[in-house]
A = this chain, B = another copy of it.
């Protein structure tokens, strides 16, 4: 490790710093209004280095997008495992779903970030190579869908189309929260929790297995 440590670690560190600075500035100021000079300054790096790491501004945006998407899907999967695995009784269901939604909402303003960045990518810098964006975009829905399918098999839910149920769940919780409160808040806002709880209850009214 000592051989590569200072070099690669330094490299990796700078790379991460650039990505972070770029993400923050893109989110607050928008893609076009963010100058590469500003990114370099905020990252504590010379502009030339930015261009040496990533070829141009578009590629940098692409890299930011990939990084955020990556961490997004990782967090979703982890949270899913933490909160929805050992649910076997109907009584636990609401609590578990609320816990899941709240952890996503707080751990990750990322989700809002990612949506915004997607929009930036799509609108601002027109048509960058589309690649497997859809995979990343739809991954959360599908992961949640699988989990809901498991809950349906366990007799707790009545969800013939689990993927659709997942979309409905997301819409009723994050969708409503993002719609009512600007995407800026997410974490610390007191108004999030009640909204999420009511969303979960509506979801359960629609999808709970009838006795």
Question: Do B32 and A202 touch across chains, with their CB atoms under 8 A apart?
Answer: no
Whether A9 is near chain B, meaning CB under 8 Å from some CB there, is no
Whether A42 is near chain B, meaning CB under 8 Å from some CB there, is no
Q: Report copies per complex.
A: 2
Q: Mark A172-189, 1 if CB is under 8 A from B, else 0.
A: 100110011010000000
Question: Do A171 and B164 touch across chains, with their CB atoms under 8 A apart?
Answer: no
Question: Do B29 and A30 touch across chains, with their CB atoms under 8 A apart?
Answer: no
Q: Mark A146-177, 1 if CB is under 8 A from B, else 0.
A: 00000000000000010010011011100110
CB-CB under 8 A for A199 and B123, given A32-B30, A206-B206 = no
Whether A114 is near chain B, meaning CB under 8 Å from some CB there, is no
Please give the number of chain A residues whose Cβ is less than 8 angstroms from any Cβ of chain B in the complex. 31
Question: Do B123 and A168 touch across chains, with their CB atoms under 8 A apart?
Answer: no
- Of chain B, the residue at the smallest CB distance from A122 is B182
Question: Do A202 and B168 touch across chains, with their CB atoms under 8 A apart?
Answer: yes
Whether A82 is near chain B, meaning CB under 8 Å from some CB there, is no
Whether A33 is near chain B, meaning CB under 8 Å from some CB there, is yes
Q: How far is the CA of A203 from the CA of B176 in the complex (A)?
A: 14
Whether A20 is near chain B, meaning CB under 8 Å from some CB there, is no
Q: How far is the CA of A139 from the CA of B141 in the complex (A)?
A: 29
Residues of B within 8 A of A28 (CB): 123
Given contacts A168-B172, A205-B206, 4 further A-B contacts (CB under 8 A): A29-B126, A175-B179, A205-B205, A206-B206
Instruction: Name A's B-contacting residues (CB within 8 A).
Output: 28-30, 32-33, 116, 119-120, 122-124, 126, 161, 164, 167-168, 170-172, 175-176, 179-180, 182, 198-199, 202-203, 205-207
